[in-house]
Amino acid sequence: MGQDYYAVLELRRSATDADIKKAYRRLALKSHPLKCKEPGAPERFRQLAEAYDVLSDPMKKGIYDKFGEEGLKGGIPEEFGDDNPWTAGYVFHNNPNKVFREFFGGDNPFAEFFAEDGTELIVPFGGLRGRGAMKQDPPIVRDLYLSLEDLFYGCTKKIKISRRVMNEDDQTSTIRDKILTIDVRPGWKQGTRITFEKEGDQGPNIIPADITFIVQEKLHPRFKRTDDNLIFVATVPLGKALTGCAVPVKTLDGRLLNIPVNDIVDPFSLLFSPKYCKVVPGEGMPLLHDPRRKGDLLIYFDICFPKKLTPDQKTLLRSALLS
């Protein structure tokens, strides 16, 4: 179940653009880590920024409303993508302070806050940095959604980011686009991290943040991955389970395997514990350090029992099974 961005902003799904802005203004000021010292404040502040980043953008909001978080971040399903300009999954830049600054502009929204002694507390806009001290922004973490085919063959992904770049005067800055190239290696797994150092926003007295992408595997219609192996569930009629059969499996590289199953697949034990597994060596995912070698294909079985039997069929079964 994906995130409910409306719930994060305490809104109904019928909320207008003005409602979204009003909710973010109220909750972001309330949950800002400079004001709120509760342990969960930074994460709450980040969730608010991501929710506002999505719902304040008409295109992202439209995709989220129709396809939910999975469609937004994983990319629109193929059948909907032909005429839609959204070609890649959404990734939040994970910099809630950037959303906060862009929302409030150059004004200091904390001018109303006061220190414990009653004097006005002036918070430098953009956070409490040491005067003149160089400090690196926190890492920006994004999900990189890849299909099993991408991870089987390897591929190249080009991702466009927008970043603030300092101008030659070292005082002003400009938003510019940049393309980051990720060479996906065969055998990469979920959780693999790819870091681009210092590719975040530039600014005076700061070291740009690193940008890190974390591999997430998209759901596959035929296979489930476990380590370097692939799991395939074959639907087999009861008769074939008892008498043997060939199981057709279309591999990730497009080949059609006909796997012979000569052992008796016990349908009754499968009802309680699907222990029987047909192992096909070398038909899994490539090994990262030696892509010429592969893991195994593990075939499990979903036995289809007949819904009804004729008297003659019942007689034959009794004769075969009770003899």
144/119 same-domain check: no
Under the banding of pLDDT at 50, 70 and 90, the label for residue 309 is: confident
Identify the CA nearest to 85 among candidates 63, 64, 66. 63
Which range of residues forms the domain containing residue 16?
A: 1-128
CB atoms within 10 A of CB 4: 14
> Tens digits of per-residue pLDDT, 230-270?
999 988 877 777 777 888 999 999 999 998 877 655 555 54
Statement to judge: residues 106 and 168 lie in one domain: no
Do 91 and 13 lie in a common domain?
A: yes
Chain centroid to CA 54:
15
For the segment 16-24, the average pLDDT, to the nearest whole number, is: 91
Q: Are residues 151 and 98 in the same domain?
A: no
Co-location of 13 and 109 in the same domain = yes
φ and ψ at residue 319, rounded to 5 degrees: -65, -40
Q: Which residues 6+ apart lie within 8 Å of 18 measured at CB? A: none
The answer to whether residue 7 scores a pLDDT higher than 90 is yes
C-alpha gyration radius of the chain: 28
100-147 confidence digits (pLDDT tens) = 888 876 444 554 443 444 343 444 444 444 344 567 888 889 999 999
Buried b (16+ CB within 10 A) or exposed e, 48-77: bbbbbbbbeeeebbebbeebbbbbbbbbbe
* Model pLDDT for residues 135-172, shown as the tens digit of each residue: 788 888 999 999 999 999 999 999 988 888 888 777 77
> How many domains, in total, are found in the chain?
3
CATH of the domain at 210: 2.60.260.20
Stronger pLDDT, 287 or 38, i.e. the higher one:
287
Residues 118, 6: one domain? yes
Give the mean model confidence (pLDDT) for residues 23-42: 86
Q: Which amino acid is at 238?
A: L
Both 121 and 147 in one domain: the answer is no
Same domain, 278 and 204: no
User: What's this model's pTM, rounded to 2 decimal places?
Assistant: 0.53
Query: Domain boundary residue among 184, 219, 254?
Result: 219
Q: Could you give the CA distance from residue 317 to residue 311 in angstroms, rounded to a whole number?
A: 10
Same domain, 20 and 71: yes
Closest CA to 129 of 204, 201, 197, 210: 204
| Strand-pair category, 229-237 with 297-304 | parallel
Last residue of a domain, one of 181, 200, 219: 219
Same domain for 124 and 6 = yes
Query: Is residue 144 packed enough to be buried (19+ CB in 10 Å), middle (13-18) or exposed (0-12)?
Result: buried
30 with 113, same domain: the answer is: yes
Cβ-proximal residues to 223 (8 Å cutoff; 6+ apart), any chain: 148, 230, 231, 232, 252
Distance (Å, whole) CA 30 – CA 69? 25
Domain boundary among 66, 94, 128: 128
Let me know whether 149 and 213 are in one domain: yes
The CATH number for 61's domain is 1.10.287.110
Task: Work out the percent of the chain whose per-residue pLDDT is above 90.
Answer: 37
